[in-house]
Structure 1
């Protein structure tokens, strides 16, 4: 059972207890936090409290995170697009529409289900729900992911992510014409107070986020760009491009109401590079744009 401790000061005083805790981790819903509070896993100054308690300056909030209940995640035979595999790591090209790992209520059809059928061994650091998973991309984002087949590899790849030495480049089509050829968005990302299922640029309960981009092509009202991640926050590219006024085409969460319906955002993780955990050799992989993404580009060129 893990625990976190939060000291209340002027930056977070008078906030509801459940809201405060839900903002600490993008994977925690407010309803889940309320259950933890009700079950007594949350203490304020060593005493139990209520979800609607408004924290005071000087309070100490302690959350004892209960261990997840083991769930029966079953292997499923899938035609995975594997780019590289050895005894330590695997690189796979995830198709658009596939969820990376199971969650309660969604235990099948995920990349993890396919990996469990494909591999005998996957790292166990992230538990039974996320075996081998080092990083994620959104359901409707296609592209390359690195997978750890043992704990040594997992720790090495995570450390490379923390050290910002992993190469991650994405292609995206955005609304609007970006006039400058390249730029950097350096803006912290946290939970959106108005919508707990969304992220936003904010200075409250946020984490540093940096996205570099450059223009590949321009069309009538749209721009094709390549983004390079320096950090890897939830929905980072989608949030940052919306923040600077160029939301990603087809994005149902962060895009405008009038956006081409292409079944999700036009975002593809095309380039992935890292040092091999055992040999130290730098490996880099390039996955071409999916056919439907390429078709959108062709249609824009014709209209232009």
Structure 2
């Protein structure tokens, strides 16, 4: 799949080298090295250019990103919703019970399989790069990068906590109106999956929460959560830590069977587009199984 990007050089970038200009835009040295391997992947005014060439006013710098999809993901027609798509990204509303990546027990039922089928049907091919990953049973919004530059810039935003993620969950009991949970998370001993609170060996973790509704009859709360860090199972572990575990969470609350999965939904994503630098905001409504549980409780 090709992505062609054109830049019109203005006064602020006169005498910049191509390399310096691209680094300023978010290209990594690894991407630039990759570009150097291919003829005419970088041109100035239509002529093949080197990364040490200097730019002049009104030059047209063209960068052609190309790559071959060789990850051997099996295409499979699976249901999922595309909230937004352009040349660089997709925003997906992932359904429940769909893993992100193929694994030994989930070889052809993942989001990667579904997107491979989707792009094959359009005679396109991309390397699957999921930026904001979700657990298998968690629903909602996640970002897919369609090229290595978009992925690099979005991953940098993730590391700087510039991608804002808001979740909605249903938890046991009547939670406080609002608060924060600041407790370090570590891998539980002798487990490759389960996490726990560990004040000696855990990684710093912080979650903000706000109660949206409380159903006294069912003794459940609808809660909005904002992650200030991005640890594995962070919301699930933090909510258990304050004695309000998520309903249906077989791993951290196995005795609750109100749902057949943890009641957790990636509700809102806000970030800056990696190429256009436009502010992007997306919302995905609650899935039907969570709506059914909360019945008259709405956001």
TM-score, length-scaled by structure 2: 0.71
**TM-superposition CA deviations, 1:259-286 (whole Å, max 9, x none):** 1341111111010111000011110110
Check the 8 A contact 1:189/1:208 in 2, yes or no: yes
CA–CA distance in 1 between the matches of 2:125 and 2:166?
A: 28
Pick one of 122, 128, 134 that aligns with 2:126.
Answer: 122
Q: Does 1:254 align with 2:258?
A: no
Question: What's the counterpart of residue 233 of structure 1?
Answer: 231
Q: How does 1:47-58 map to 2 (within 5 A)?
A: none
Query: What value does the CA root-mean-square deviation take over the aligned residues?
Result: 1.9
Check the 8 A contact 2:99/2:106 in 1, yes or no: no
CA–CA distance in 2 between the matches of 1:96 and 1:231?
A: 23
Question: What's the counterpart of residue 113 of structure 1?
Answer: 113
Check the 8 A contact 2:92/2:143 in 1, yes or no: yes
Single out whichever of 202-211 and 132-141 deviates more from structure 2.
202-211
Distance apart, 1:292 and its partner CA = 1.2
CA–CA distance in 2 between the matches of 1:281 and 1:166?
A: 13
CA–CA distance in 1 between the matches of 2:134 and 2:210?
A: 21
Question: What's the counterpart of residue 99 of structure 2?
Answer: 99
**TM-superposition CA deviations, 1:48-88 (whole Å, max 9, x none):** xxxxxxxxxxxxxxxxxxxxxx8742111233300000110
Distance apart, 1:121 and its partner CA = 3.9
Distance apart, 1:133 and its partner CA = 1.4
Distance apart, 1:212 and its partner CA = 0.7
Question: What's the counterpart of residue 77 of structure 2?
Answer: 77
Question: What's the counterpart of residue 41 of structure 1?
Answer: none
TM-score, length-scaled by structure 1: 0.69
Q: How does 1:141-160 map to 2 (within 5 A)?
A: 141-160=138-157
Question: What's the counterpart of residue 181 of structure 2?
Answer: 185
**TM-superposition CA deviations, 1:140-189 (whole Å, max 9, x none):** 110000000001000111111111111111111111111x3111111111
SS of 2:285 mapped into structure 1: coil
Question: What's the counterpart of residue 286 of structure 2?
Answer: 289
CA–CA distance in 2 between the matches of 1:135 and 1:205?
A: 25
Distance apart, 1:256 and its partner CA = 4.9
CA–CA distance in 2 between the matches of 1:103 and 1:71?
A: 13
**TM-superposition CA deviations, 1:1-41 (whole Å, max 9, x none):** xxxxxxxxxxxxxxxxxxxxxxxxxxxxxxxxxxxxxxxxx
CA–CA distance in 2 between the matches of 1:283 and 1:155?
A: 17
Check the 8 A contact 1:191/1:205 in 2, yes or no: no
Q: Which runs of 5+ in 1 are unaligned?
A: 1-69, 124-130
SS of 1:207 mapped into structure 2: coil
Give runs of ≥4 in structure 1 deviating > 3 Å.
none
CA–CA distance in 2 between the matches of 1:107 and 1:90?
A: 22
Q: Does 1:175 align with 2:166?
A: no
Q: Which runs of 5+ in 2 are unaligned?
A: 1-69
- Aligned pair count reads 223
CA–CA distance in 2 between the matches of 1:206 and 1:71?
A: 34
